[in-house]
Amino acid sequence: MPRTQSIVSPLTNNVQCDGILALKDITYDTWSYAERIAWLQMVNETNFETHKKDIEIIVPGYFFGTYSDFDQFRRHLVSNSQYNKDVLYSRQLIMMKSPPGQIEAWRDCVLAQTNQPKILCYVDKITPDGATLNVSWKTAPGLEVLRDIHIYPGDNGIAHIGNAFDDGLDGNAHITLQRKNPTKEVRGFISGKAGLHGDFSADFLWPVTPPPPDVSPISETPVSVGDHKSDIEFSLPVSDKARILEVTLNAASSFESPGSHVQRLWFWGPGVELDTKETFVHEHLERTYTSLSSRFFVLPQQQVTLRGHLYNNGAWSRGLWFSGRLIT
């Protein structure tokens, strides 16, 4: 059914209340890339300072500066990642990972934003086959209950809608949904009437749960063996997907006689230079190991080259190599 002209709840645009949905304790290696980008959409000027560490976890080394800088980088990131999703999708994706209390706090915040009447709806308790559509009606003097309520499930359709609004809606209601095809998202809207001439509606989205991220070891890197020093360089294969690179530069040395031997390791990556400084080894050891680690966010089509250098005084370099994993 085509949508008629009505008073639409202002939820297609980002609202300040979305900051409530910015969860803490993000685990970037279990969240899909779409979920990580959606989470970034929940960060606003009010909660930016609170979530700086979480932002660094999700997108290491990419954001810096003020909220204005963050917002500019975020727009660039969304554009480069071809994340062509709207705020309704981002919000609903994060709700799928949010505890009930956090969602209810968001709902109460949105309803308190204005004294105007409005419908608010969102989907939660999502499984591959079913979900719950939560509908709230904020009335105003002279309007009373919302009546003649209809749910339009969009092109992909819903196989079953439970709990009809026979008596209208005054407050909150929960409707059981079952969709026809679990591999396709459902975009729909709910509409109703209040008072003599008021038509009200609000959009809802039931997204498909994104697959978990792909976590794989980085490709085999060369092993550099020298005399008192070693150098190594490794270029990451270019991809059309954004990735997080966790990488460690490993070094092994052999000290053939006791004494104060000096060992030093350098590691260069995109915008990063790490250095162990001078390390003194006072004992006679057949082999010692040292390492440096870092995390990088790699944009689609970005070329990344990693370099390492090992210096030993009074020892032999027995190997210099990279290890780590890619999270897509």
Q: Which domains does the chain have, with CATH numbers?
A: 7-206 (2.60.40.2410), 215-327 (2.60.120)
Phi (first) and psi of residue 311, to 5 degrees: -125, 135
Report in angstroms the alpha-carbon separations of 128 from 176, 204, 207, 275: 13, 17, 10, 49
pLDDT for 14 equals 45
Element spanning 108, H or E: helix 100-111
pLDDT for 9 equals 35
DSSP state of 5: S
pLDDT for 204 equals 93
pLDDT for 127 equals 80
Locus of tokens 């890197």 = 221
pLDDT for 279 equals 72
Q: In sequence order, what E strands does 100-257 have? A: 118-124, 130-138, 147-152, 158-161, 171-179, 186-194, 198-206, 215-217, 229-236, 243-254
d(CA 281, CA 133): 65
d(CA 172, CA 193): 16
d(CA 290, CA 137): 62
pTM: 0.81
d(CA 73, CA 40): 11
Q: Which two tokens stand for residue 217?
A: 């070891």
Q: What stretches in the chain show pLDDT beneath 70? A: 1-15, 156-157, 159-160, 162-164, 256-260, 280-286
pLDDT for 239 equals 92
pLDDT for 48 equals 93
pLDDT tens-digit readout, 237-279: 999 889 999 999 999 888 766 666 778 899 999 989 999 987 7
d(CA 322, CA 248): 6
